[in-house]
Structure 1
Amino acid sequence: MDQVTVPRNDRKARIWGMLCHLSSLLWIPLLIMGLPLPLANLAGPLMIWLNKRTKYRFVKVHGKESINFQISITLYATIILTIFTAFAWAFYILIGGIKGFDRNSWLELFKLIEFWLWCLASILGIIDSLLVTMASIAAQYGRVYRYPFTLRFLK
């Protein structure tokens, strides 16, 4: 990654760099309002990066990092959901052959699966929020932040 330093007096570059990260948390109020938009975590950083990358090199670096992380976290969530669903269906098929497993038992099983999916989603959301907060603080101080476990889609 480019090691970009921004002068302390270039406040606008630092603010836009910080907003590249913070705008990825747009999904949280949308989810609370009952509007769980897919890929809402990518919309903000992508718009800021596309509009400000030519004006501020600092925003170009932070925008790419934020977008790469949000694509990575979305990909990880999709993989976890797919694996968990596959295991749930395999369990469903295995249990299906057991006599005496009635409709109420199935409902309890699916409630349990739903609970664990919400737990996994919550953990990913908390990790996402913490790392985004750390990155935005680094941007505000004029430092470059590199997210852990991020696949580099944009070079």
Structure 2
Amino acid sequence: MTNTDLQEDYSSISLMHYSQLLNFLGPFGLIIPIVLWSSKKENIKDMDVHGKAVVNFQISLLIYSITFFVLLFVSFILTFFLIGFIFLILLVAIGIALALLMIIPPIMGGIAASEKRLYKYPLSIKFF
């Protein structure tokens, strides 16, 4: 299928961006965008570019979340020795920032896609 044969469907692209909000229900915020991207990237114009941006962001968030929870676990252990309490307070602030990072950029990405623009996700590591 050539580039001129591709259909323009920015509502599906927006849906893929918004589907990242399912992160709060488990791994669906990563699985659903991958399924949407892989199943429609051959048929929808710009789906591949947006899909790569979304998957890169989701993988980056996964790495940041795993690192956060490992540090949180270490901080809980260190709290028993009274040296992890300050670190724990710092991690709460980082956790709030991480939660906001899971909410705001996907919404911004969906809005940008509905306006036929590509949203550049913050703190996204480029894997694809």
CA RMSD in angstroms comes to: 2.4
Aligned residue pairs, count: 118
Q: Which runs of 5+ in 2 are unaligned?
A: 1-6
Q: Distance in 1 between matches of 2:40 and 2:92?
A: 36
Give 3-state SS (helix, strand or coil) of 1:19's partner: helix
Alignment map for 1:42-61 (pairs within 5 Å): 42-61=30-49
Alignment map for 1:109-128 (pairs within 5 Å): 120-128=94-102
2:23 and 2:102 in contact (8 A); partners too: no
Decide which of 3, 17, 20 is 2:13's aligned counterpart.
17
TM-score normalised by structure 1 residue count: 0.66
Percent of paired sites with the same residue: 26
Decide which of 83, 107, 114 is 1:133's aligned counterpart.
107
Give 3-state SS (helix, strand or coil) of 2:126's partner: coil
Q: Distance in 1 between matches of 2:34 and 2:49?
A: 12
Q: Which has the larger radius of gyration?
A: 1
Runs of 4 or more above 2 Å deviation: 115-123
Aligned equivalent of 1:81: 69
Alignment map for 1:22-41 (pairs within 5 Å): 22-28=18-24, 30=25, 37=26, 39-41=27-29
- Given the alignment of the two structures, is residue 145 of structure 1 paired with residue 116 of structure 2, yes or no? no
Q: Distance in 1 between matches of 2:91 and 2:55?
A: 25
TM-score normalised by structure 2 residue count: 0.78
Q: Distance in 2 between matches of 1:122 and 1:16?
A: 29
